[in-house]
Chain A
């Protein structure tokens, strides 16, 4: 599998990069490239040019202030793992970054790339030869989705590890485009649609420049829990990020839960707060809440395991994440 020919630009300023992206048609932004190169080899994407963000120094900045962390989109996952301040202030972010791919890929992979990760499906992430036997699915320009068989939409699964954690932390992202810069909540970056799963993929002509993560209030515990088929290197079958705070009586004051791996975007389970607020964390309450949360995930057969298995495992992963954050043994 060789790469198709393309042009390559690595401008030194953000302004040039934004201009180039909006002037020339059919380009792809390359950050670390560890995931994009596989897609290019499989001819899942056939851009005319790659726009590299390597030479823009401002995108590699890490800035701690009193109440938040601002990460440039080109900060590598390895940098995140090795930061003792992130470990101290945002432990679930470190945990999620550590669970992405393998150590080798984490030297290359960036936080921005992880947030912009494309959705995945057993019918999509295959070589062009494999895909040619079945004809194009909806995501590759065909009429219908191979997973459901009929529908005119794409159900590929969103499998990035870091977004659910950042959504649980209430992170915001900075985008730069022709109309200038804007900041939106990370949750709003995703549209839940499989084919073009985020604002940039849907064609906004913007570049993700940074991520602002507010430090949680004192006493908030955060956890990321991931389940995958191969422990050394794999995308999540399901991942759950939990942030919770207990009051003086050990009752839940607030809880947020965000999941990945099951739908076409990260799923923010808002009902968890109504279910568990005011409750004392006991195994029974956790299992009930996890079962109710798992019902809100609607996995389809986008990977090699059955949707039923995914639902069952989601319940366990969510329960374990809540229990770990609350310091409870299940």
Chain B
């Protein structure tokens, strides 16, 4: 069974014919070629497939594409603007909060949500915010350090 859905992906409106049994992750990666969103555990436990849906981070492997109909989706490809890295991406680079890079798109997106809601989080709040994102390089210290460096900045956007 197929269905037409409307998505706004990184600011662009799309009308797509999708299989009702496709996950949003599969549609993003395979139909739209947005491979920045990673497939990790495919069970919603690792957070590698995180995208922002109407501003909230959700594991796209655990969401049917048809359930995202009419929603606004932000993937890692939409975070940088006009070829310029987002402040979060800059700081992750500077602080070495990026090793193999597989968890990074998800980490950046949950960080964005965290800072949008609470521009000045403390360490505990940061740890709670990234609790659903696993870094198998175990580079958590640098990731937390990077987010701490962003805390309190006036304009993270």
| 18 other A-B residue contacts (CB within 8 Å) besides A33-B64, A102-B45, A104-B47 | A2-B21, A3-B23, A5-B21, A7-B1, A8-B21, A34-B62, A37-B62, A37-B64, A38-B62, A50-B20, A101-B44, A103-B129, A104-B133, A105-B62, A107-B53, A107-B56, A108-B58, A232-B132
A54 beta carbon closer than 8 Å to chain B: yes
Name the B residues within 8 Å of A50 (CB-CB): 20, 64
**Residue B74 is within 8 A (CB to CB) of chain A in the complex:** no
- The answer to whether B57 and A41 touch across the interface, beta carbons within 8 angstroms, is no
The secondary-structure label for the interface of chain A is loop
B29 interface contact, C-beta 8 A: no
Residues of B within 8 A of A2 (CB): 21
Query: B110 on the interface (CB 8 Å rule)?
Result: yes
Interface core residue of B19, B21, B56 (most chain A CB under 10 Å):
B21
Are A37 and B20 in contact (CB-based, < 8 A)? no
Q: How far is the CB of A75 from chain B (nearest CB, A)?
A: 15
Cα-based distance from A5 to B57 in the complex (angstroms)? 27
User: Could you list 14 examples of A-B contacts with CB < 8 Å?
Assistant: A3-B23, A5-B21, A6-B21, A8-B21, A33-B62, A34-B44, A34-B59, A37-B23, A50-B64, A54-B67, A101-B132, A102-B131, A103-B132, A107-B57
Does B147 reach chain A (CB closer than 8 Å)?
A: no
What CA separation (Å) do A291 and B58 show in the bound complex? 41
Binding site for A on B (CB under 8 A): 1, 3, 19-23, 42-45, 47, 50, 53, 56-59, 61-64, 66-67, 110, 128-129, 131-133
Q: In the complex, A6 Cα to B56 Cα: how many Å?
A: 28
Hey, which chain B residues are within 8 Å of A232, CB to CB? 131-132
Interface residues on A, range: 20 to 34
Interface presence of A1 (CB below 8 A): yes
Interface residues of A in 1-30 (CB under 8 A from B): 1-8, 10, 30
A41 touches B42 (CB 8 A): yes
A233 at the interface (CB under 8 A from B): yes
B-contact bits for A129-163, CB 8 A (1 contact / 0 none): 00000000000000000000000000000000000
Q: Which residues of B contact A102 (CB under 8 A)?
A: 45, 47, 131-132
Interface residues of A, Cβ cutoff 8 Å to B: 1-8, 10, 30, 33-34, 37-38, 41, 50, 52, 54, 78, 101-105, 107-108, 232-233
Contact assessment for A37 and B44 in the assembled complex, using a CB-CB cutoff below 8 Å: yes
Measured between beta carbons, the chain A residues less than 8 angstroms from B1 are 5-8
* Given A6-B20, A8-B1, A8-B20: A103 in contact with B57 (beta carbons within 8 A): yes
Chain B CB within 10 Å — which of A5, A33, A37 has the most?
A37
B44 interface neighbour in A1, A4, A38, Cβ under 8 Å: A38
- Given A3-B21, A3-B23, A232-B132, A41 and B56 touching (CB < 8 A)? no
> Measured between C-beta atoms, what is the minimum distance from A122 to chain B in Å?
16
B57–A7 CB distance below 8 A: no
A105 touches B59 (CB 8 A): yes
B49 shortest CB reach to chain A, Å: 9
Alpha-carbon distance A104/B40, docked complex (angstroms): 15
Q: Are B42 and A103 in contact (CB under 8 A)?
A: no
A215 to B86, CA, bound (A): 46
In the bound assembly, the distance between CA atoms of A257 and B110 in angstroms comes to: 36
Q: How far is it, in angstroms, between the C-alpha of A78 and the C-alpha of B56 when the chains are bound?
A: 10
Chain A proximity of B60: nearest CB distance (Å): 10
> What is the minimal beta-carbon distance from A130 to any residue of chain B, in angstroms?
14
A107 vs chain B, min Cβ distance (A): 4
Contacts of B22 in A (CB 8 A): 3
Distance (Å) between the CB of B110 and the closest chain A CB?
Answer: 7
